[in-house]
Structure 1
Amino acid sequence: MTGLFITREGQPGRWRVWPDAETPEPGAVEETGTYLFELESCADAGAADLLIDDSRLEALRSSTSDGARWRWQPGFHAGTVKAELRVPGAPPRRFEIITDPDRRKLTRDDFDTMVREILEDTFSLFSLSSFRTSVARGSGSRPPAIARLEFLRSRIAELTEVVELITRQPRRRLMAEELAVPYHRASRATGPEILRSFRTGKIGRETATPSRLPPSLQGRLPEQIRVRQRRSTLDLPEHRQMAACLRSWSGWLSAAAGLLDRKAPGTDTGLRETAIAWSARCRRLSTRVSVLARAAPFAEAGEAPAQLALSSLFRNDPVYRRFYRLWQDMNLGIAAVFGDFLNLPLARTYELYELWCFLRLVRAGVETFGPESVETGNLFTTDAAGGMTLAVGSVMVSVGGGWLLCFQKKYEEFWEETDGRGSYSRIMVPDVVAVAPVTPDGTPGRLIVLDAKYRIDGSLNDALNSIHAYRDALVQESDAGKITGFVSAAYLMAPWHGDIASERAYRDVKMPGRLFHPAYRGTFRFGAVALRPGMTVTEISEALQTIIADAATAPMPAYDG
């Protein structure tokens, strides 16, 4: 039987990934390891190709004529990868390989949460800007960003589950209707129904004697009697709205596939392959949603706008309430929001985390200092079609209280900078920089450097080296030629889930938990802050205030220039 297996290079043991995939032990796939995929018992194995996340793997020589081998170096992985096995003469076989069940759920949930909160923060901050326009919801003329498509794909998977639950036990209502039936079948007709039936249709006359009709009818009776009856129906206003939304989403995905097809003929091979792959996925997703729109609860429903009204059914029924929340998510996903940092797949969650941290901190600054002095206009650009682009390359945002938040601000050598502030070693680009207000004597405010690291467990030394470098190498030169450091504090930002153990002395806490200890941060103005996807704006605001308080009294390092 044909099978695909994975094993770590140079180590015994393997597990099947296709068909009938086996679940590996947590931690079986490490980001720094090298792994081999082995295809067995396949007649055309020599011409087979294996793609992981749309990238061809390096093929190796196999020891058997009916086998094939590929080498894979995971790097950052999200606990799951999309695989495609191509064998000549057979359709492509697409399947998901779960490399770490726990990490898969955590990373998938984090990715979806970050995309949702990035889009929510974008709309919230956009509403505070000087722009007076709405953001388009259609497909427009630009292909949607990859992160948005990843987000929509996970939403559609949940949408399928919700529609199946609704189909099993749909809500119904009793609908009154009138039926015209022959008089001899209207044995249960009421007096008012018989009287109303005299208004339309032919009137018959009884010829038999003695008459069996009541004297008041005078021997006359309508040939067709209109009787009222109630029947159960699925034609609810909510079902009409849901069906319209499903049809709208299916059309949007189909249009997005067309836009990706038009983008595919570019010169960049990697971008072209990605566009082709996502075009095919969008078409498959469109078909899935179109099938959902034809499910039983929606087949009987009439026409309605693709807009849900928050009725009592959506408020009180748990399953219908899930559909309403998915509708909100889908609206975020199809909004015409663009930007390079949104053009990231699930396998690059760590890069998306950088943008998420910045926007969450900007939103927290609004919460902390109030919206009056916030200036977010340079964070966005708009186009005539209603699209909005996040201009997050080296951007500065005023968040109130005199504080500025900078995303990926570039520091060149300090003697090259006009304000005399820069690096004494090499060009540095920290993820986020918080700039304090200007001092009363006119001196520029000091800096708090924040470096986003989605995972620090496996690369703790590299993470610490980066914030050490930022804190020590960023200096300023005064008019008198004196060189001093201007970084008050340097912190890592990471989605830490461990126990901070603040009741213990920081010396007794092991790394990396020690970095998050409040006393450690307050003593050295160095360490880490926990920023997890799903934290409320209030919690992020508290973290921002803690960062500012920790760094308020840090001594300035001096250098002999």
Structure 2
Amino acid sequence: MEPLSFGDSFLVRSRGSEWIPIKEAYLIEATEYEWFWENISFSILLMQGVPLTYRKAEGGVTGQFMTPFQSGHLTFTVEQHAYGTYVYPDDRKMTAEQYDMMLLDILDEGAVCFDHSGLTIPISTSGRKRDVSWAQWSYIDHGFKDLVSYIRRFLEHPLKRLTDQETSLKREQIKVVTNRTSQWLERHYAQDPSSVIPANVLTYVRTDTYNMYENRVIKRYLLEIQSLLVTYMHCGLSDVEEKAAKYGGLVGYWLRQGIFQEITSYEGPIQVSTIFRKHPVYRLCYRWFDGLYQHGNERIGFEYPFPLKDTFALYEIWCFMQVMKLLRKKDLLKNAANLYKSTLDRFYLSLAKHKGSHVSLANGHHLYYQRVFQYNSDRFYSFTQRMEPDITLESNKGILVFDPKYRVPTNLSTALGEMHKYRDGILIRAQETPAVENVFILTPSKGQEELRYFQEWYHDRYRMGAIEMVPGQPCNPALEKAVVNFMQSV
């Protein structure tokens, strides 16, 4: 898509780069830019309706702005004239596909580790379920915008087909005598020689109808999701209930459209027709609804909701589950009961701050999620401030710290500088010596600078560094080495 622009007189630049016209700029979300306009006669400049501050400079005016933390269209308004450009995604931010991968990875590992929990409840792990689950709600929540687009396009240009409809017409209104009309006349009047053509004749008229198979299937899907959203409206989570009511109202609005009044809902097994395979809109609709029930681990859910804007929280949990998966494959996992919380017939992954969520490992080791260290802690304590590293692997003699940070590929030095407080500020109470053996940042992107932080020699020399962890890719050997070395050395 070609971004709109101010023209050549409005210039922008990021820190340390050259001035370029905004129509040539590649704006990235959540990034600060300087702007310069060769015009001093305007009164106000708005970005997305918000005034930008500016100051006079030689030859014009200048100022700064920060792009929103989301991609899409960006509008500047000057003297009631609107100019548009486009903000492109930041490769540091998780995509919706990576979000799905993380969520499913967490639920899959949660179901597998349930065997080590010592708890007893039937867990279903089949591929498709019609019951509600957090994975399914997440799919609905951050995919509903796509569904709105698909249904809108469907309502604009629905397919229809010709069908023969039986009707009775006056004989003078019949323009073409079909074979069916002739057969009807012969069957009812040909045996009586004295009979004449009746005033009304049964014939067949070809008309357009929307009541075709694919449209009936889509109506069935909409009725199903409408019923599903009613269930989420009474799930007990206020934000989910509010969103489900909003989505349900929109689905009800779609079903009240004229086209759906003519269509009858399809009943029976659904087959993938040629239209569902090849038509651009119908294919997207079918794929969206087909994915609605592909959440097999519906009985293992989350105690707390994680919206897409809080992907960093989900990334932290995903990294924790990846470390636990690595330990499980090494046959070091003993008991994971502390990760689960039961309510009625359902178990939840209960991972949150101050919950003391941990996994018991072989040889008396433990894996903690967001362990708290403070001055009055028992075995390990902080002699300065309260500390909460995201992931800690602990033995009786030492600690290995992992700190997931999914948005730091261009600022790793600052992030690693913060890691010093963990490495040097957490002590073994009995010996008053540093407890942390190594500390590593986990990040989904290396960026373009400071690649030495990811290299093995750096990890060995300084006992800290960064490890790349990307959803959808195999476990990084550097993570495995750090975990195995710690388990064998302390």
Which residue of structure 1 lines up, in the alignment, with residue 387 of structure 2? 428
SS at match of 1:551: helix
Equivalent pair of 1:491/1:528 in contact (CA under 8 Å): yes
CA shift for structure 1 position 533: 2.9
Which residue of structure 1 lines up, in the alignment, with residue 472 of structure 2? 534
Which residue of structure 2 lines up, in the alignment, with residue 406 of structure 1? 368
CA shift for structure 1 position 432: 1.2
SS at match of 1:159: helix
How many residues of Structure 1 are paired with residues of Structure 2 in the alignment? Answer: 453
Which residue of structure 1 lines up, in the alignment, with residue 352 of structure 2? 392
Query: Counterparts of 1:302 and 1:172 in 2: how far apart (Å)?
Result: 14
Mapped pair 1:458 → 2:410: yes
Counterparts of residues 238-257 of structure 1 (less than 5 Å): 238-244=217-223
Equivalent pair of 2:302/2:348 in contact (CA under 8 Å): yes
SS at match of 1:533: coil
Work out which of the residue numbers 115, 120, 125 in structure 1 matches 2:104: 120
Which residue of structure 2 lines up, in the alignment, with residue 504 of structure 1? none
Mapped pair 1:179 → 2:166: yes
Q: Which amino acid aligns with 1:240?
A: K
CA shift for structure 1 position 167: 7.4
Question: CA distance change for structure 1 residues 290 and 496 in 2, over 3 Å: closer, same or farther?
Answer: same
Question: CA distance change for structure 1 residues 252 and 322 in 2, over 3 Å: closer, same or farther?
Answer: farther
Query: Counterparts of 2:339 and 2:449 in 1: how far apart (Å)?
Result: 39
Query: Counterparts of 1:288 and 1:36 in 2: how far apart (Å)?
Result: 44
Structure 2 portions without partners, runs of 5+: 124-128
Which residue of structure 2 lines up, in the alignment, with residue 159 of structure 1? 147
SS at match of 1:342: coil
Mapped pair 1:80 → 2:64: no
Counterparts of residues 80-479 of structure 1 (less than 5 Å): 80=71, 98-99=86-87, 101=88, 103=90, 106=91, 110-121=94-105, 123-124=107-108, 127=111, 128=114, 130=119, 155-159=143-147, 162=150, 179=166, 187-189=178-180, 204=189, 207-208=192-193, 234-236=212-214, 238-244=217-223, 301-303=263-265, 311-313=271-273, 317=277, 322-327=284-289, 342=306, 345=309, 349-362=311-324, 365=327, 369=331, 373-376=334-337, 378-380=339-341, 382=343, 390-394=350-354, 395-398=356-359, 401=362, 404-413=366-375, 416-418=376-378, 420-435=379-394, 444=396, 446-478=398-430
Q: Which amino acid aligns with 1:472?
A: D
Question: CA distance change for structure 1 residues 180 and 49 in 2, over 3 Å: closer, same or farther?
Answer: closer
Query: Counterparts of 1:296 and 1:543 in 2: how far apart (Å)?
Result: 59
Query: Counterparts of 1:329 and 1:405 in 2: how far apart (Å)?
Result: 34
Equivalent pair of 1:431/1:450 in contact (CA under 8 Å): yes
Q: Which amino acid aligns with 2:306?
A: L
* CA deviation map 1:89-147 (0-9, x unaligned): x9xx9999644x252xx356x242354245435544665374859999889xxxx9xxx
Which residue of structure 2 lines up, in the alignment, with residue 274 of structure 1? none
CA shift for structure 1 position 546: 3.4
Question: CA distance change for structure 1 residues 250 and 190 in 2, over 3 Å: closer, same or farther?
Answer: same
Query: Counterparts of 1:113 and 1:551 in 2: how far apart (Å)?
Result: 33
SS at match of 2:440: strand
- Report the identity percentage: 15
> CA RMSD, aligned part only?
6.2
CA shift for structure 1 position 514: 2.6
* CA deviation map 1:349-373 (0-9, x unaligned): 5455333323444455556649x95
Equivalent pair of 2:351/2:357 in contact (CA under 8 Å): no
Structure 1 portions without partners, runs of 5+: 17-21, 213-219, 264-278, 437-443, 499-509, 557-561
Question: CA distance change for structure 1 residues 166 and 41 in 2, over 3 Å: closer, same or farther?
Answer: farther
Query: Counterparts of 1:36 and 1:381 in 2: how far apart (Å)?
Result: 58
TM value normalised by structure 1? 0.57
Query: Counterparts of 1:489 and 1:398 in 2: how far apart (Å)?
Result: 20
Equivalent pair of 2:389/2:402 in contact (CA under 8 Å): yes
Question: CA distance change for structure 1 residues 449 and 240 in 2, over 3 Å: closer, same or farther?
Answer: same
Equivalent pair of 2:102/2:318 in contact (CA under 8 Å): yes
Question: CA distance change for structure 1 residues 454 and 6 in 2, over 3 Å: closer, same or farther?
Answer: farther
Query: Counterparts of 1:299 and 1:27 in 2: how far apart (Å)?
Result: 45
